[in-house]
Amino acid sequence: MDDLFRCPSYDLTGKVALVTGSTRGIGFAITSAFAAAGASVVIAGTKQETCARIQREFEEKGYQCLGVSVDMGDTDSIERLVKEAAGRFGHIDILVNNAGVGGKEAPILDISPGEWDETIDINLKGLYFCSQAVAALMKERGTGGRIINMASAAGLIAPKYVSVYGAAKAAVIHLTKIMANEWARYNINVNAIAPGYIATDMTRGVMADEKNASAVLNKISLRRFGDVSDVAGVALFLATQASEYITGVLIPVDGGMTVN
């Protein structure tokens, strides 16, 4: 049977993974899964003290970890993050662009240019230039890599009052395809995940309101909110050998919300 089928490996031993927005929620769950699978991980968040604390906690568990603060709206800060990560571990094999902000929930007529800029800068511009910096390292090293972009169900459907966030995430979905097309020649696989309603700080308000929670659950085929582990499992799949022939795709992790 060994000659007929090669069982895919979910082992990340020897790999280096950089996950932005990884001090809590989905990003923290993904980083934890990668570390448990054997990867050296880079924790990237807005507060250095939080990154340093998580680094210590990971190291106490025997994981190789580096915590670096970053402002995903500032390209100089992104360059510093990538430089520090590569300087510590020598290379980067996996990038997860998870950092993001929900932005102001309001009608389009009430959105200011400043509110537009903040949401677009972090959710789209930061993702773009972080991918650019890491892909350049992957190309130079010549051994390929994986880039996983965090999109959203809001980029697939058209909910009211999240126009800027929805537009940014829709752009992330399309950008993923362009990156995959351009970088396939360097053996860099680029894919995206579109979470639905996952239990995180960003969705706590909806879930805490019984009426709102019930209305949302009625739109979800599986009739439950997602857990961060639901997203982390898909990210692990996309980071490993098991998905080596997949690039340019979007995987919704939404309990069936976008098909209901």
- Residues annotated as catalytic are 165
CB 93 within 8 A of CB 17: yes
Distance CA 101, CA 109 (A): 20
Here the tokens at position 137 are 């390292």
Distance CA 221, CA 164 (A): 26
User: Is residue 42 packed enough to be buried (19+ CB in 10 Å), middle (13-18) or exposed (0-12)?
Assistant: buried
Going by C-beta distance under 8 Å and a sequence separation of 6 or more, which residues neighbour residue 60?
A: none
